[in-house]
Chain A
Amino acid sequence: DAKTTQPTSMDCAEGRAANLPCNHSTISGNEYVYWYRQIHSQGPQYIIHGLKNNETNEMASLIITEDRKSSTLILPHATLRDTAVYYCIVFTQGGSEKLVFGKGTKLTVNP
């Protein structure tokens, strides 16, 4: 079972920031928070991951709360092409743990 909780769906206006929340209240100390997205009929696309500190790359920013029980993925200027299902996954590096995909959040970016 997925160890995260995400809203089923969200809407965002084109050009505005999209903030996607994720709860992972049972996260353990060595588990990372990974974000992927899946555009319709395509394979998932890696976005970003982090352990404790906030992370930023060319796609998005990841804000992790100090207690690590929740995080927010931020797409700073959403475009129509960002419409997708976004998955938040907690995962331990270096072991035999597998990525477990939950239902994710369906983000719809509206013109």
Chain B
Amino acid sequence: GAVVSQHPSWVICKSGTSVKIECRSLDFQATTMFWYRQFPKQSLMLMATSNEGSKATYEQGVEKDKFLINHASLTLSTLTVTSAHPEDSSFYICSARVGATDTQYFGPGTRLTVL
């Protein structure tokens, strides 16, 4: 199957700082990528849809100015958590859609801990 990577796999930061998470499709091009968040013992919640070359589409309740998404190329999308606070601590997961079948392949996730 298609391979999606994320970097870093985990990050610890101080409250008020910004953190950037990268999502890459390694063996295919993805015009659309997705960002999810997962809190402990809960299911994945979609945060935003990232389209190459255009603005991301955010789900209701997700602050676009806090969670900045950039999809500058067909293989890279980045999520920047700005002015992070402890309540932003979560497991962030990206996925990329393979065009032919619309099947989404997921990255391994990034564990963010804000102190």
Contacts and interface: CB of A to CB of B under 8 A. Distances in A.
Chain A contact residues (Cβ within 8 angstroms of B): what range?
20 to 34
B104 interface: yes
B76 to A, nearest CB: 17
Contacts of B93: 43-44
A84 B111 CA distance: 19
B61 interface: no
Interface residues of B, number: 22
Contacts of A99: 34, 46, 95, 104
Nearest to B94: A43
B103 A98 contact: no
Interface of A: 34, 36, 38, 41-46, 49, 87, 91, 93-94, 98-104
A34 B103 contact: yes
Interface of B: 1, 4, 6, 34, 43-46, 49, 91, 93, 95, 101-109, 111
24 contacts: A34-B103, A41-B91, A41-B111, A42-B109, A43-B6, A43-B93, A43-B107, A44-B93, A44-B106, A45-B106, A46-B1, A46-B104, A46-B105, A46-B106, A49-B103, A87-B43, A98-B46, A98-B49, A99-B34, A99-B95, A99-B104, A100-B46, A101-B44, A104-B43
